[in-house]
Amino acid sequence: MKSFANKVIVITGAGSGMGRAYALEFARHGARLALNDYDPAGLAETVQLLQGSDAGTVFSQACDVGDRDAMYAFAADVKQALGNAHVIINNAGVGGGGQPVWAMTDADYERTLRINFFGVVHGTRAFLPQLLANGEGAIVNISSVFGLVGTPGASDYCASKFAVRGFTESLMVELEESPISVHLVHPGGIRTNIAKGAPNGEEFTRKFLKTDPAYVATEVIRCIRSGKQRIVLGHQSGQVWLLSWALSLERRNRLLYRMLKGMLDPGQYDRVRRRAS
């Protein structure tokens, strides 16, 4: 897909961060926008920022991407308001519980997977028939560099982002001979509020979340146009990508532990060390 003028672009998680950046960037290309977010206030703020832009019609609806029925209803409402979608960007996500495996609850895992993984599944499956009906389109699924390596205190988040990776890579093969392009994004440290409220969230944000979301939006649009399927970008993403394949798993795990040890709760890990000794 080369031009986005007057095309219907669906963006989940559009109330802040990368989702808002995608909306603003596609607006510059004259697209019609269908925006979703769980937070109605953030979504309304994005819609307000789009006023006076080059965007065509802007349709917005607040709902939970992890709710299958709500997402299918959103897809039907988008079709009624704007026509069939041309691009779906499954961007919505949460940061996870931020605790080691033994300190997490079942509810933590269920919530993170419901939003981060099943939100992508629901968004893809709800809008794919519209893309196919148009005879052209693109699916952009947002994983993470934590979909390339596992990190401490993020087992639920990593599991969800590895799942997005597996789902999307399978979809790429299935749609190989179709007019639909599929793109998998592994963002590194992007300056968003993903770590807000997490243990050591402020420190993590200060150290690692440095790349402007607008840069990500620009690069993703470029890759949709070129057909590039895997997109790894953002602060320290290159280093993580290298770690994911260049080192043995044992060496990689030791290195990651040393890098992140200072941000871990000593009390949680002291309990494990005592039991193992």
Q: Which of 38, 109, 157, 215 is catalytic?
A: 157
Please report, for the chain, the start and end positions of each structural domain, with discontinuous segments joined by +: 8-276
**CA distance readout (Å), 15 to 35, 191, 210:** 8, 14, 19
The pTM of this model reads 0.91
Residue 269 annotated in active site: no
CATH 3.30.1340.10 assigned to domain 8-276? The reply is: no
Comparing CA positions, the residue from 79, 92, 101 lying closest to residue 19 is 92
Number of Cα atoms under 13 Å in the Cβ half of residue 15: 20
| pLDDT of amino acid 192 | 60
* Distance between CA atoms of residues 152 and 155, nearest Å: 7
| pLDDT of amino acid 117 | 98
Token pair 């997109």: residue: 231
Pairing of strands 137-142, 230-233: unpaired
Q: What is the mean pLDDT of each run of 10 residues along the chain (277 residues)?
A: 93 95 96 97 97 92 98 98 98 91 95 98 98 96 96 95 98 98 90 57 56 90 96 86 92 91 83 61
| pLDDT of amino acid 200 | 56
| pLDDT of amino acid 204 | 53
DSSP letter for 179, please.
S
Comparing CA positions, the residue from 25, 8, 219 lying closest to residue 127 is 8
| pLDDT of amino acid 44 | 98
